[in-house]
């Protein structure tokens, strides 16, 4: 098997990483520069009233976020919480660009190996630009992108068997460097490349992102001279989308990492300790945190339904599900995140939402869909209501109808409206929900950055594997 020659890593087309000018408009409307065209609008007005959430409880909880917001503002200024420095960071992007160039050179397929926070953020970014299509052929000079985030023996074998391994590259991501599923995938992929005759070219087929230190994945990379980019040790995996974990895939996908981070920075702009006390009502993420905890204390069995309209935010909803569940589900506290997708889940879950128990808080994401997509043409008079309409017209009507129906049936509903899921918008939404999660954890009295309960299962899995012998 002929391997790829050593990669060149020039700056792309003389491009330099520069900040677009950004400005912040309060009142739940954020905009990044006109060049980026980003906006998202949060509306929580339909969450309160008879049979809904108590406004007084929400107001009390919102006020309680102020001390934590002040702490976060100071941490951003002083560098005590690296997550908050990432939106303004640029020094790490050269290494991200170099690894991306290594992975994209003469590449027909790029396979992402990682699980949970090491994969979901990159999947959300890929889907936002319509490149989360595992079976889509290479087009317009782009390779095929595959995300193998679940450890399934048949899926792994199928992907490796279908690809031309001579021009396939792999990005392996594990914060700890010891994630069992990711190590198994990595060893399997390396074995396939070696079996195909490419053993001496292993380093040209792989890239690694992991923490510094003596770690199994880092030792594996050193064994084969595979290039490595560091995962920041003080940024947890599920909060890592703005690190190399998200930025290397973003560059491979053709997204601008600066635009993503600039969108995230706009969300943090109100956290300015020099500007005086931070006003929680000016922070949409604080409103969301207070709303979620109010729902947890008001509803008998609190669940949060996270429902975007349109495929391009489906993986974003999955990313949020992990962030929320793993950060808050501790000490008998938290709310259960439920993901849905419109319009398709109108035909599966909507009946439960409208006719079932009143135990859910709904967040629906809308996009500007009207006029988008192909147009229907028919001479059938019974279908005249569809004739001349686009797919986007119908999807837009359905998202509006679902919102109005939930409101009419007395369901607490938050809406977040975006124009399109471009790079700064996705960056802003991700930072919004990371901040919302941190604030909700503070209100619940739990640590948003650990996950002690899952360690027991990992230890048991290793023990059961050892029982196989050999």
Active site residues: 326, 347, 458
**What are 247's two structure tokens?**
């930025």
- Torsion-angle region of 323 (φ positive above 0: left; ψ -120 to 50: alpha; else: beta): alpha
Q: What does DSSP say about strands 360-366 and 206-210: parallel, antiparallel, or unpaired?
A: unpaired
What is the Cα–Cα distance from 453 to 171, expressed in whole angstroms?
28
- What is the residue whose two structure tokens read 């969450």? 47
Helix (H, G, I), strand (E, B), or coil: what is residue 31? strand
Q: Dihedral angle at the C-alpha atoms of 250, 252, 253, 254, nearest 10 degrees?
A: 90
| C-alpha atoms less than 13 angstroms from C-alpha of 237 in its C-beta half-sphere | 21
Residues pairing with 342 in the sheet: 309
Helix (H) or strand (E) holding 42: strand 39-46
The answer to whether 271 and 57 have CB atoms below 8 angstroms apart is no
User: Cα dist. 215→101, 178, 210, 219, 323 in Å?
Assistant: 25, 7, 9, 6, 25
Query: How many other CB atoms are found less than 10 A from the CB of residue 277?
Result: 10
Determine the distance from the C-alpha atom of residue 140 to the mean position of all C-alpha atoms in its chain, rounded to a whole number. Answer: 25
d(CA 170, CA 204): 9
Q: 69, exposed or middle or buried, with CB in 10 Å at 0-12, 13-18, 19+?
A: buried
d(CA 98, CA 88): 20
Residues near 15 by beta carbon (within 8 Å), at least 6 away in sequence:
none
Q: Which residues contact 92 (CB under 8 A, 6 or more apart)?
A: 243, 244, 247
């Amino acid at each position: 098997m002929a391997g790829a020659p050593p990669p060149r890593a020039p700056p792309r087309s003389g491009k330099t990483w520069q900040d677009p000018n950004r400005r912040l408009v309060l009142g739940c409307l954020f905009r990044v520069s006109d060049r980026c065209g980003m906006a998202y609008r949060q509306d929580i007005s339909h969450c309160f009233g008879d049979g809904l959430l108590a406004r007084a409880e929400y107001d009390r909880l919102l006020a309680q976020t102020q001390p934590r917001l002040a702490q976060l503002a100071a941490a951003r200024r002083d560098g005590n919480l690296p997550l908050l420095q990432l939106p303004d960071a640029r020094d790490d992007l050269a290494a991200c660009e170099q690894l991306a160039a290594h992975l994209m050179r003469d590449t027909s397929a790029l396979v992402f190996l990682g699980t949970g926070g090491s994969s979901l953020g990159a999947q959300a970014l890929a889907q936002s630009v319509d490149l989360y299509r595992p079976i889509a052929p290479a087009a317009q000079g782009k390779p095929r992108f595959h995300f193998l985030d679940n450890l399934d023996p048949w899926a792994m074998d199928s992907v490796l068997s279908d690809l031309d391994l001579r021009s396939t590259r792999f990005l392996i991501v594990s914060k700890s460097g010891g994630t069992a599923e990711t190590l198994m995938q990595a060893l399997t992929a390396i074995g396939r490349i070696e079996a195909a005759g490419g053993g001496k070219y292993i380093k040209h087929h792989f890239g690694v992102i992991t923490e510094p230190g003596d770690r199994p994945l880092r030792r594996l990379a050193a064994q084969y001279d595979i290039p490595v980019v560091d995962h920041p040790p003080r940024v947890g995996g599920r909060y890592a989308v703005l690190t190399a974990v998200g930025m290397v895939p973003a560059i491979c996908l053709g997204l601008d990492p600066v635009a993503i981070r600039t969108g995230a920075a706009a969300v943090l702009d109100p956290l300015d300790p020099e500007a005086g006390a931070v006003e929680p009502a000016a922070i949409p993420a604080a409103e969301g945190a207070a709303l979620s905890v109010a729902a947890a204390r008001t509803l008998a069995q609190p669940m949060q339904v996270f429902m975007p309209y349109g495929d391009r935010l489906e993986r974003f909803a999955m990313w949020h599900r992990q962030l929320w569940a793993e950060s808050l589900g501790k000490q008998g506290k938290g709310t259960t995140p439920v993901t849905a997708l419109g319009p398709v889940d109108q035909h599966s879950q909507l009946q439960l939402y409208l006719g079932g128990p009143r135990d859910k808080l709904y967040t629906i994401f809308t996009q500007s869909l009207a006029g988008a997509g192909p147009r229907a043409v028919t001479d059938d008079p019974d279908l005249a209501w569809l004739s001349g309409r686009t797919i986007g017209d119908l999807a837009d009507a359905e998202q509006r109808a679902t919102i109005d129906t939930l409101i009419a049936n007395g369901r607490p509903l938050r809406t977040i409206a975006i124009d399109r899921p471009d790079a700064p918008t996705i960056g802003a939404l991700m930072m919004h929900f990371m901040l919302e999660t941190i604030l909700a954890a503070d209100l619940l009295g739990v640590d948003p950055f650990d996950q002690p309960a899952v360690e027991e299962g990992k230890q048991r899995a290793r023990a059961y594997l050892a029982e196989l012998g050999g």
